[in-house]
Amino acid sequence: MADRRRFATTRWSLVLAAGRPEQPEAARALEELCAQYWHPVYAYARRRGNSAEDARDLTQGFFADMLEKGSLVRADPQRGRFRTFLLAAMKNHVAGQWRRGQALKRGGGFELLQLDFDSGEISYQATSANELSPEAAYDRRWALDILDQALKELRDEYRQTGNEDVFDALAPSVAADPGALPYADLAKQLERSQGALRTAASRLRARWRERVVRLVTETVDTPADLEDELRALIDALDGSL
């Protein structure tokens, strides 16, 4: 029971709140979930052969339906991963649109979510998603969003301690960015030794991984699910983390 309580954390709380449309906090909770998960949903819609515009409409309509129909009430943290539940729900949504042969829903009576689809399309194109199946594109975008969120949280932490310049200098190399500067150049830029920077980079990488694990923990219910989800994340990134 202690393990299960430990895993019943922030994101599942959001899911459960969003699944109760009669409650005033449901719209806010769904909005937060959309912000966290719309990139993978959009990537899946694009890889199904939809244009960027149609993928936008499918994504908007999907989350609108979730609130209007209370679909999230069926989500259960004891039944596993929210990511898997969301993908299955999106598949049903897309299939339903096709079966009815109707025009894609453009928000309906639901206020359109304020999502930056232009940046979403750029991210989609930049991740080589065109080479993946729709399901693999969904998983890859989910994994990249987890990494990005972990880095953003760390940047805030470094900023609060006055070390934002160190983070900005080291993050590209830690994230294996091909445009990262060599340590020799960074040492001159920051007026630190290469050895000190390599140590700082190692610590940053370790803390990044800790953040990734914590974020994934918030989306599962048991330690076994966590192990499976971390393996899925690494597989979605072609085995690199």
| Domain ranges across the chain | 2-236
Q: Name, of 23-27, 75-79, 224-228, the range with top average pLDDT.
A: 224-228
| pLDDT, average across residues 233-237 | 92
Considering only residues 7 and 220, tell me which one the structure prediction assigns the higher pLDDT. 220
Q: Which of 142-156, 162-176, 215-229 is least confident?
A: 215-229
pLDDT of residue 5: 40
Across the chain, which distance is largest between two alpha carbons, in Å?
Answer: 64
pLDDT of residue 82 exceeding 70 = yes
| pLDDT, average across residues 184-195 | 92
pLDDT of residue 241 exceeding 50 = yes
| pLDDT, average across residues 7-24 | 56
The count of other CB atoms within 10 Å of the CB of residue 124 is 23
Which residues lie closer than 8 Å to 216 by C-beta, 6 or more apart? 146, 226, 229, 230, 233
pLDDT of residue 124: 84
Q: What pLDDT band is residue 18 in, cutting at 50, 70 and 90?
A: low
| pLDDT, average across residues 200-219 | 91
Q: Which of 20-34, 95-109, 215-229 is least confident?
A: 95-109
pLDDT tens digits, residue range 39-71? 999 999 999 989 999 899 889 888 877 767 766
- Averaged pLDDT of the chain: 79
pLDDT of residue 206 exceeding 90 = yes
* 6-14 contact pairs (CB < 8 A, 24+): 7/77, 7/217, 7/220, 7/221, 7/222, 7/223, 7/225, 7/226, 8/77, 8/221, 9/217, 9/218, 10/218, 11/36, 11/82, 11/218, 11/219, 12/77, 12/82, 12/218, 12/219, 12/221
Contact present, 129 and 137 (Cβ < 8 Å)? yes
pLDDT of residue 35: 78
pLDDT tens digits, residue range 115-154? 788 888 888 887 766 678 999 999 999 999 999 999 999 9
pLDDT tens digits, residue range 100-113? 655 555 544 444 56
pLDDT of residue 3: 44
Eight-state DSSP code of residue 77:
G
Tokens of 215: 């974020």
What is d(CA 241, CA 233) in angstroms, rounded to the nearest whole number?
9
Contact present, 45 and 120 (Cβ < 8 Å)? no
